[in-house]
Amino acid sequence: MSESWIVGINPVEGALNNDAERVREVLVEHGQRNPRVHELAEKAKALKIPVHHRPREQLDRVAGEARHQGVVALYQAPSLAGEQDLPDLLEKAGSDALVLVLDGVTDPHNLGACLRSAAAAKVTAVIVPKDRAVGITPVVRRASAGGADRVPLVAATNLARALRALKDAGVWITGLAGDTEQSIYTIDMKGPVALVLGSEGEGMRRLTRETCDFVAKIPMPGSMESLNVSVATGVVLFEALRQRSER
218 is in an annotated binding site: yes
Give the Cα separation of 56 and 114 in Å (integer).
32
Residue 70 has pLDDT above 90, yes or no: yes
Residues 6+ apart with CB under 8 A from 163: 101, 173, 194, 196, 208, 211, 212
Integer CA distances (angstroms), 70 to 30, 63, 140, in order: 8, 10, 20
Residue with the bigger pLDDT between 162 and 109: it is: 162
Range of the domain at 48: 2-77
- 187 belongs to an annotated ligand binding site: no
pLDDT in tens, 165-217: 999 999 999 999 988 889 999 999 999 999 999 886 778 888 899 999 999 99
* Residues 6+ positions from 60 with CB-CB distance below 8 Å: 68
107 with 15, same domain: the answer is: no
Q: Report whether pLDDT(158) > 80.
A: yes
The enclosing domain of 162 has a CATH number of 3.40.1280.10
Does the annotation list 176 as a binding residue? no
Beta bridge pairs of residue 216 = 176
| Percentage of residues of the chain with pLDDT beyond 70 | 89
Domain boundary among 77, 105, 132: 77
Q: What pTM was estimated for this model as a whole?
A: 0.75
Q: Please check whether residues 48 and 127 belong to one and the same domain.
A: no
The answer to whether residues 68 and 173 belong to one domain is no
Cα–Cα distance measured from residue 162 to residue 158, given in angstroms and rounded to the nearest whole number: 6
Higher-pLDDT residue of 224, 115: 115
Confidence of residue 11 (pLDDT cuts 50, 70, 90): confident
pLDDT digits (tens, 9 = 90+) for 116-128: 899 899 999 999 9
Helices (DSSP H) in 121-217: which residue ranges? 138-144, 159-168, 206-211
134 & 223 share domain? yes
Pairing of strands 98-103, 71-77: unpaired
| Number of domains present in the structure of the chain | 2
Asked whether residue 14 falls in the same domain as residue 69, the answer is yes
Are 62 and 105 in the same domain?
no
Residues 92, 19 within the same domain? no
